[in-house]
Amino acid sequence: MTADKPLISLQNVNKHYGDYHALRSINLDIKQGEFFSLLGPSGCGKTTLLRTIAGFEDYDTGAVMISDRDMRGVPANKRPTNMVFQSYAIFPHLSVIENVAFGLRKSKMSKTDKMLAAEAALEMVGLKGYGHRAAHALSGGQRQRVALARALVLKPKVLLLDEPLSALDRKMREQMQVELIKLQREVGITFILVTHDQEEALVMSDRIAVMFEGEIAQCDDPEILYRKPNSKRVADFIGVMNFLPATVRKEGETYLATIAGLGETEITEAQCPGGVPLQNDNGGEATVGFRPETLTLLYEGQTATHREAPAVVDEVVYYGDMTYYDVRFEGVEKPVRISMRNIFGRDVLGVGTQVRVSWSPGALVVFDQSA
């Protein structure tokens, strides 16, 4: 395990802007070669955290270590990190190649070697032959590639990217997501990506830290984050999750949950990533969550693989390949969303239809009611 030492390690980092507590006891280990994302809503402190690693922001307490070296007092221009700025920060008075070679000015390479390195970096990001263009005559996607090449040509230990794709249109964004992943595998450099787009984070990252209000709420790989979120707000931020009120109690060595509209079922400790919500031995108030795709509407003649519950269709949203049904279980006010793949020959149900819903106790996640 000691061989697997983290490349970057943040230990109990705190930062204030005046009275505002912008980073709260951040603890984070990022390994060499990881594609790591910082995900969270606007204003939660992602940029602040990234700039703290880059050396643009001071912090009050704690330590930022890169390759086991404490970075306190090391200015941004001396850190083994490079940044791709949200605005790309392409120098408008320089050509593309001059932009890419900017950071090589002080290196001991010969002039031709520098140019070759810059050309190679341009080729790597798919801009071969663009070197002599004026920087202000580039499209958004091209500027982004120049910014990438400019940082990568210095072979940093860590590349920091602050919402690099948010200025691009949807199609371009999806294309760049794939290219970034490929590029990262190719160069093997640790990437830390800031994004507020959960889909982007899920697609691209090896691991994701979800942040709220200056705190890291959960740090895991995408699948665990999606399937086992440790709190309601993480669950809510990543994908769609239905919530129903429930009570939990312990009988012998087993835990039993009584869920509004669905009835009683046994749950395991693994289904409670935030801990089993037992306020005392007699039981406790809880919330259960389940993803829309873990529920199925049963058509005539179909039977449930696990459990089933009656419901009424409240709302139908048709998406072409999918249909979203909002259904109401008996005795529950709040509708629950179910996503169904549209299979040829199967009718889309109308509002008001009485249906049977199949659900599986193993797909539930149980949260503390307040978390």
Partner 1 sequence: MKSLKTYAVLYLIFLYAPIFLLPLFAFNSSTIIAFPLESFTTEWFTQLLTLSEMHGALLNSLKIAVTSAVLATTLGIFAAMAVSRYSFPGQKGIMGFIMLPLVLPEIIVAVSLLIVILRMGFDTGAWSVIAGHTLICTPFAIAILQSAFAALDPSLEEAAYDLGETPASTFRLVTLPLVMPGIISALLISFTISMDEFIIAFFLTGAEPTLPVYLFSMLRFPKLLPAVMALGTILVVLSILLITIAEFFRRRGAKRTGNDTGGFL
Ligand X SMILES: Nc1ncnc2c1ncn2[C@@H]1O[C@H](COP(=O)(O)OP(=O)(O)OP(=O)(O)O)[C@@H](O)[C@H]1O
- The residues binding ligand X (CB under 6 A) are 17, 20, 22, 40, 42-48, 196
Query: What is the sign, positive or negative, of the torsion defined by CA atoms of 104, 107, 113, 117?
Result: negative
Per partner kind, with CB cut-offs from 5 to 8 A, the member of ligand X, Mg ion, partner 1, none near residue 150 is: partner 1
Smallest gap from residue 23 Cβ to ligand X (A): 8
For residues 207 and 36, the answer to whether their CB atoms sit within 8 Å is: yes
Concatenating the DSSP letter of every residue in 54-81 gives HTSS--SEEEEEETTEE-TT--GGGSSE
Amino acid at 194: V
C-beta closer to partner 1: residue 25 or 67: 67
Per partner kind, with CB cut-offs from 5 to 8 A, the member of ligand X, partner 1, Mg ion, none near residue 20 is: ligand X
Pick from 104, 109, 175, 112: which is nearest to 141 by CA? Answer: 175
The DSSP code for 166 is: T
Smallest gap from residue 11 Cβ to Mg ion (A): 23
C-beta closer to ligand X: residue 42 or 77: 42
Smallest gap from residue 193 Cβ to Mg ion (A): 12
Smallest gap from residue 109 Cβ to partner 1 (A): 13
Chain residues binding Mg ion by CB under 5 A are 47
C-beta closer to ligand X: residue 40 or 55: 40
How far is residue 275's CA from residue 264's CA, in Å, rounded to a whole number?
A: 19
C-beta closer to ligand X: residue 17 or 91: 17
Per partner kind, with CB cut-offs from 5 to 8 A, the member of partner 1, ligand X, Mg ion, none near residue 87 is: partner 1
Burial class from Cβ neighbours inside 10 Å (0-12, 13-18, 19+) for residue 256 reads middle
Smallest gap from residue 48 Cβ to partner 1 (A): 14
Smallest gap from residue 348 Cβ to partner 1 (A): 49
How far is residue 204's CA from residue 177's CA, in Å, rounded to a whole number?
A: 7
Chain residues binding partner 1 by CB under 8 A are 54, 56, 75-78, 81-83, 85-87, 89, 91-93, 102-103, 105-106, 136, 150-151, 154
The count of C-alpha atoms lying within 13 angstroms of the C-alpha of 175, restricted to the half-sphere facing its C-beta, is 11
Name every residue whose Cβ is closer than 8 Å to that of residue 255 and which is 6 or more positions away in sequence. Answer: 248, 249, 266, 267, 268, 269, 276, 278
Per partner kind, with CB cut-offs from 5 to 8 A, the member of Mg ion, ligand X, partner 1, none near residue 43 is: ligand X
